[in-house]
Every structure is written in C-alpha cells, then in structure tokens.
Chain A
Amino acid sequence: MAESFIHAENLSFSYKGQNGADDIPALKGVTLDIQKGEYVAVLGHNGSGKSTFAKLLNLILEPTSGTLIVGGTDLSSGDLPDDELIALRRRVGMVFQNPDNQLVATIVEDDVAFGPENLGVPMPELRRRVDDALAAVGMSEYTDREPHHLSGGQKQRVAIAGIIAMRPECIVFDESTAMLDPLGRREVLDTIRMLNRENGITIINITHYMNEAALADRVIVINDGSILMDGTPDEVFARRNELRAVGLEVPQCAELIYRLREAGIPVRGTEISTVEACADLLSAAFSAEGNHHG
C-alpha cells in the first residue's frame, strides 16, 4: 500500500466515567487509512464520535485501544516524549469551532507568530512565515489589527494562518464553520480548498453540513462511534435513506433527484454532489424523454 498519512486499526476511545460510573465509549473500533494530500470530510451528527476522532489525531485525547499511526509516528500508546509530541502537533494542525477561543494575541500578526515562536523559529524566517501565512489566507491587510474587530470568517482565517505558519502536513478542521455566517463559511471553505489544491496539505474537515462534505474528495460518515460509510460524495449521497436514519440529510439537489426517482422519473447518473452536476443529469433526463416521445 502507498504511504498512508493516517493509519487507524480498530481504534477505540472511551471517556472516563465520572464518580465510578461506567466509561462512555465514543469511538468503537475504527479502521481507516487516509493518504497524504487527501481532502476528507468526516460527517456525523452531534455526539457521533467525529470530534473525538479528530482529537486523537494530534493526541489531545489518547487512544484507549487499537492502533493509530500518524505520519509514521505510532500514537497507539498515547504516550510520546515531549519533543516528539511537539513535532507531531506541528505536522498535524487543528482549527477549532469557536474562533474567539483559539486566538491568543491581541494583534493579528502576533497571533499568527505564536505557533512558530513556540517552535523556536528564528527571526528573519519567522517574519517570512507570518507574512506568507497571512497572504495565503488573504488577510495580509489585517496584519496589525486586533482580532476582536474582525468578522467571524476573518478570525477563523487568522486561526488557519496561525496553523499554516507552523508548516503542517495535515490540518484538521473541527467544525470550524459551525459558528460562521454564509459569507464567513465560504471564505473558510475557499481557503481550505486552496490549501489542499495548491499546498498539498492533507485536509480533514469534521462537519455536519452536507454542502461542505460535497466539496471534499472523500466522505466518511461516522455514527455511534463506528464508520457507517466511506466513499466519494456521490457514493455517500446516493445512500439517502441510510443517512436520514442517522439524523443526516443530503444536499437539496441530491434530495430532489431522489424524490424524482421515487416518483418513477428515470434520472440516470451518479453525479449528484453539486448543483451543476444535478442540472446536467436532469437536462439529460428531460431531453432523453423529449427525444423518446418526440
């Protein structure tokens, strides 16, 4: 097998029960491989275990059992020497949900510098990294602003710049768009795509928005701590009923095609993850019908 960046085998995690109560399993034997440079969306409803999975990847949480190898480092034991732990977290960056709770400094560029400062990046190089990172997320003109004057989407882009400045190989987005408005969400998603396409950064986007999952190359659906589906957005959205059963819904266009097929209208094709693709399928279906009868 080609080198996989993340390799999990039978990976499990349980939260310790409080006051002698039973442990609460959050992840139950997950097995998967994620290749370098992939753009993966991890879907699931609240409490499905998707966030737990994310937090294992850079050892914020320690696996209870099973194997987890990230970028060649074995995390299964949950115990790493300090320098290896820091090296791991440099390689696997993480962007959280609430933009307010992950910015440390009172000035944008100081915040972006925080990660590389911790890594001991020396000065001319540090400056270059900060400037490059801010340019990459399109926030160069906000270098010396105060974060609390920025919009949600802008704050989140600063948080991303703070991660990029550490030159990571993989970024995990833990519901990073959940608190944003449509404009902010679009800003962040465009940035994610750009990082994946242009910088080859492996992306893992934990989300419950179907429209976001449609942008990824691969969608993993987690339910009740286990993997329920794993495939391209088209493949996953085609299993509409199973998704509904676990509290998820497919994008509107995929839903429309599903309902038309239910009503006996022959819409052929499998590409249902974008508006354009759906429009193509429908026009094809209509012209076929038109020709057939015409």
Chain B
Amino acid sequence: MKSIAFGQYYPANSPIHRMDPRAKVILTVLYIVCTFLCRNVLCFAAILLSAVLLCLVSRIPLRMILRSIRPLIMILAFTSLINVFMTKGEHLLTPTWQIPLWGSRVWRIKIYEEGLWNALFMILRIIILLIGTSVLLSYTTTPIALTDALERLFSPLKKIKVPVHDIAMMTTIALRFIPTLMDETQRIMNAQKARGADFSSGGLIRRAKALLPVLVPLLVSAFNRAYELAAAMECRCYHGGEGRTRLKILRLRFSDVFAVMLLVAFGVGIFFLNRQGIGYTMK
C-alpha cells in the first residue's frame, strides 16, 4: 500500500536494473537529447522502436508504463489541440470548414497537414520522453541509488565548494522520511476527523483553514524527529562526508560503457536520419 504511494521503483531483475546508476543517469540525459533531435517520421519510428525495446528489456509490466502516462492525457490533448490549430503551413486541409458566429461573421477553421504532423510528433515526443526516463531511471533505480549516482557524478563540483555530499545526505534522509511522514499525516488526519474535522467541504479558504489542525502537529513532529535523528546520527559518528567509506562501491562495467556508446551512436544516427527528406520535417 505504502509502496504505491512512494517512489516508482519497480523491483525486478533486468539488465537495466543491474546497470550502474551513473550510467543510467547519463543514458537518460542522452536519451532525452535524442528525443529532441527527432524531426521526421523515420527518426520517430526509430526512437519509438528503441522505447519499445527498452520496455521489453526492463521487464516492467506494460500496465505500469501505461499507468504513468494516464495523468498526462490532459496535457497530451492540450498540446495536440494547440498544434493542430495553431500551426500554419502550406497544405490547408480544411478550406471549407467554418462556424457561423453572430451576424455575418464566421470563424474559419484552418487545419494544415503540418499541424497534424506536429501534433503527432509532439505526442510521440512526450510519451517517449516519459517511457525513456521512467524505464531508464525511476522504475529501475531505487531513489537511494539515484542519489548516490548524482552525488558521484557531481563530485567534481566539490572543488568549487558546492556541498555535494550534504545535498545528497539531505536527499537520502528526505527519501527515507517521506513514507514515515505520509503515514503520520494520515494518522493525524484520522485523529482530527475523529474530532469532527471536515477536510472536503467548503471553499478554498475554509479548506486551507481546516488543514491547520493537521499541519501544526505534523510540523511539530517533524521537528522532533529532526532533533532525534540528528542526535542518533552524531551517536553513529557522523561528521560530514570527509573520510567516509561506502558499503556500495559503484563500478562501471564494460556493458555500462557499451550502452552509453551505443546510445551515442544512436543519436548520431538520428542526426543523419533527420537530413533525409522523407515526409514532413518538424521545424
């Protein structure tokens, strides 16, 4: 029950799950770049194929992936409408469509072929972005491994006094306490409901006010937890990132490097495919 609410990690044993998280972060960035490189049908076909392959390799069930798309349906619909109606091009598909308004005024609906293509490409781009990032990162990487990878990737920044370790530590602790605080919120809400609190009726201001009996205790308890945790960490000899060793040593394997190289090659391929004048090319 709690796992659904917290994070998206889907435990499985796939090549992607086993990959070095640093490689996955780099791959994700590259993949996003590739998606934005795509300009024509060939490119989108290629990248769609790659997304399907990724899904298969990752062993994430299709319904999980579809579920992550569902909340985006509104955005997808909105983007495609904007593209369909706002793109101006050369091939007008609807020369005769018009809606009478008042008097003799009419509203001419102008949909261009280019608009349809743009809408299709935008939808594909968003979906592929989502599949790419979720399969390469969020579904297959635990939040903690991700934090760890980011800490190491950004560690050169320590030289210019960016507190990389501290930020990573804080992120880890935040991740650790999200489920705890969510449970706590539920408990406090139930406690106040038992005293007749009503969180669901009334206007915006009334509802915000009704949340006060939840937020105050939640903050008080979060501060208490913070104090106790700080004491516990001191008792366990925490003194910043200096001189710390790690239980989990990340090792880039050949396969990780190979995957990155493969994706770079894929990007180069896309770049050249764009130059083929096949069908419509996005601006």
**A interface residues (Cβ-Cβ under 8 A, vs B):** 58, 60, 82, 86, 89-90, 93-94, 96, 98, 100-107, 109-110, 113-123, 126-127, 130, 146-149, 159, 162-163, 166
Contacts and interface: CB of A to CB of B under 8 A. Distances in A.
24 contacts: A60-B231, A60-B234, A89-B234, A94-B235, A96-B228, A96-B231, A98-B225, A101-B225, A104-B232, A105-B144, A106-B142, A110-B144, A110-B248, A114-B233, A116-B245, A117-B246, A117-B247, A118-B244, A119-B237, A121-B245, A123-B246, A123-B247, A148-B179, A162-B236
Interface of B: 2, 142-144, 172-173, 175-176, 179-180, 183, 224-225, 228-229, 231-239, 243-249
A146 B179 CA distance: 10
Name the residue in B229, B237, B244 with the highest tally of chain A Cβ atoms < 10 Å from its Cβ: B237
A100 B244 contact: no
Contacts of A123: 245-247, 249
A123 B142 CA distance: 22
Name the residue in A82, A103, A122, A146 with the highest tally of chain B Cβ atoms < 10 Å from its Cβ: A146
Contact of A127 (B176, B225, B247): B247
Given A118-B244, A162-B236, A100 B144 contact: no
Nearest to B232: A102
A121 B237 CA distance: 12
Nearest to A121: B245
Nearest to B244: A117
A117 to B, nearest CB: 5
Contacts, number: 97
A273 to B, nearest CB: 31
Contacts of B173: 104
A134 to B, nearest CB: 12
B238 A118 contact: yes
Contacts of A163: 236
Contacts of A116: 245
Contacts of A149: 2
Name the residue in A101, A113, A115, A120 with the highest tally of chain B Cβ atoms < 10 Å from its Cβ: A101
Contacts of B175: 106
B206 to A, nearest CB: 33
Nearest to A125: B245
Contacts of B224: 101
B180 A100 contact: yes
A121 to B, nearest CB: 6
B150 to A, nearest CB: 15
Contact of B176 (A96, A98, A104, A119): A104
B228 A98 contact: yes
B231 A82 contact: no
Contact of B233 (A86, A104, A126): A104
Contacts of A146: 179
A60 B235 contact: yes
Contacts of B243: 120
A163 B235 CA distance: 9
6 residue pairs, one from A and one from B, having the closest CB atoms: A102-B232, A113-B247, A101-B228, A115-B236, A118-B237, A94-B235
